[in-house]
Structure 1
Amino acid sequence: MIERVLPEGVEAAEHTGAPPPVPLHPSEEAGVADAVPARRAEYAAVRGCARTALRRLGLVDAAVPAGPDRAPVWPAGIVGSMTHVDGYRAAAAGRAQAWAGVGIDAELHAPLPPGVAPLVMSDDERAALAGTDPALCPDRVTFSAKESVYKVWYPVTRAWLGFEDVDVRLGDGTFVARLGRAGLGTRVLHGRWAVGDGLVVTAVALARG
């Protein structure tokens, strides 16, 4: 499913169901040293997806440890992103010479909890969704799109980006995100979204040049 929202040149892998056992590299162990078993299992499983994506780029058995800020540390020359939600995890990676950043996100396809939508979306964004089929859960798609944008933004800038700093407008399987802050060399990002199997997935891949 994640491949549907990523461009050619970005490799991805995903897994559904219970997290499979995945051995961790010593450098990855520190990220879950004190974690409960369920958290450890998801952390390891999503790194299994990352290793599969990296292998498709020619990197065999590469480690993706967590940094001090808990963000994944990709091998030199690689940009990537990970996501996981109950019963699903995925990773995507591309060559840094071609891509400035990659961001992916997966969410359960359900409306946002009461009171959350006004925190995630501006009045203008909510008004733009007024004619959208509510069965699509456009608020959740918008939330996921902003999460994917943040995963492109943060590794480049190492700065916070709030929901209010990103204006997202949904199209038919696509979205446009306009940033209220500078830092990426562009204030407009283009992404894709898809819904299926009870999930919504989104992705942004920022090409260099």
Structure 2
Amino acid sequence: MNQHPACCAPLQHHWPLPRPIPGAVLVSCPFDPAALAADDFQRAAIEQTASLQRSVAKRQAEYLAGRVCARAALQRLDGRIYVPGTDDERAPVWPTGISGSITHGKGWAAAVVAHSSDCQGIGIDQESLLTDERAERLAREILTAAELQRMDPAQVGLTVTLTFSLKESLFKALFPLVRQRFYFEHAELLEWSADGHARLRLLTDLSADWQHGRELEGQFVLNGDQLLSLVST
């Protein structure tokens, strides 16, 4: 019987984003690296690889919390007991017929899963809100020229954080489908609104199905200084 690791708070089965995705399950978990116990991986029955053993407590705790969430989400989805491994691209390995994504940020981890028949790809990402000053420094690395032109000077921190997070979610949603890396300049955030709606467009050809000009819907929620985004196909 798996035991809950000491570094993780009780699991939360909820949907914190504005619009539910039919057939998708999201599980989240606050975690505290300072509370990581020596036997937490064993207690949770999750493999601790050699590289993880060499990692700092923060990395170990966030990995463990993310996998605990992923296992719980899959179990709620269809009853299976499965912990995603990690492939050569450092992406989670999901069971055949499953789309999924894991994120971890400041003391919080989450996983979202769905059957591929309901959702071809799904990506989730959490980020801490950038200050306006830091966002100004990073803007040209993350935003395209068109995005920079559209940016409201009064919302620099939010816009850069949101654009970064949505593009991360987009990558997580599409990479398992196209198996091709792409970067910030290969997509643009066309529009977003305060109700958590967003729309993105690809600026490069990734596959026969995912070509330049293809648009996708995204969503996000801001909770204090933490922003959570999701893109699904």
- Displacement of 1:85: 0.9
* Aligned length, in residue pairs: 204
Deviations along 1:155-198, one digit per CA (max 9) or x if unpaired, are 11111111011011232211111101222724111110110132
Query: So what's the TM-score if we normalise by structure 2?
Result: 0.79
Q: Are 1:87 and 2:107 an aligned pair?
A: yes
Residue number in structure 1 paired with 2:22: 8
Structure 1 residue 136, shift from structure 2 partner: 6.4
Change (3 A) 1:114 1:138: closer
Aligned residue number for residue 152 of structure 1 = 173
Structure with higher RCO (Cα < 8 A, 6+ apart): 1
Q: Which amino acid aligns with 2:92?
A: P
**Among 138, 141, 150, which residue is 1:116 paired with?**
138
Q: Does 1:192 align with 2:214?
A: no
Q: Which amino acid aligns with 2:75?
A: R
Query: How far did residue 122 of structure 1 move?
Result: 1.4
**SS in structure 1 of the partner of residue 137 of structure 2:** coil
Deviations 1:24-56 (A, max 9, x none): 434x63662432332111101111111121111
TM-score normalized by structure 1?
0.87
Counterpart-to-counterpart distance in 1, 2:32 and 2:161: 23
1:40 corresponds to 2:67: no
| C-alpha deviation, 1:8, in angstroms | 2.5
What is the Cα deviation at residue 2 of structure 1?
A: 5.2
Greater displacement, 51-60 / 95-104: 51-60
The one-character-per-residue Cα deviations of 1:47-94 (angstroms, maximum 9, x if unpaired) are: 111112111112333111111111000122111001111211111000
Provide the secondary structure at the position in 1 that maps to 2:181: coil
Percent identity of paired positions between Structure 1 and Structure 2 = 28
> What's 1:137 paired with?
158
Q: Return the alpha-carbon distance in structure 2 between the equivalents of residues 59 and 41 of structure 1.
A: 25
CA distance 1:102–1:161, change in 2 (3 Å): same
Closer, same or farther: CA 162–77 of 1 in aligned 2, 3 Å:
same
1:169 pairs with 2:199: no
C-alpha distance in 2 between matches for 1:33 and 1:13: 25
RMSD: 2.3
State whether residues 106 and 201 of structure 1, in contact with CA within 8 Å, keep that contact through their aligned partners in structure 2.
Answer: yes
Structure 2 runs not aligned, ≥5 long: 1-13
User: Residue 10 of structure 1 aligns to which amino acid in structure 2?
Assistant: A
Say if 1:2 and 1:14, in contact at 8 Å, map to a contact too: no
Is the Cα–Cα contact under 8 Å of residues 102 and 203 in structure 1 kept in the other structure?
yes
Structure 1: distance between partners of 2:227 and 2:113? 19
3-state SS of 1:39 partner: helix
The runs of 5 or more residues in structure 1 that have no matched partner are none
196, 203, 209: which one pairs with 2:230? 203
Distance 2:157 2:46 in 1: 40
Deviates more, 1:57-66 or 1:15-24: 15-24
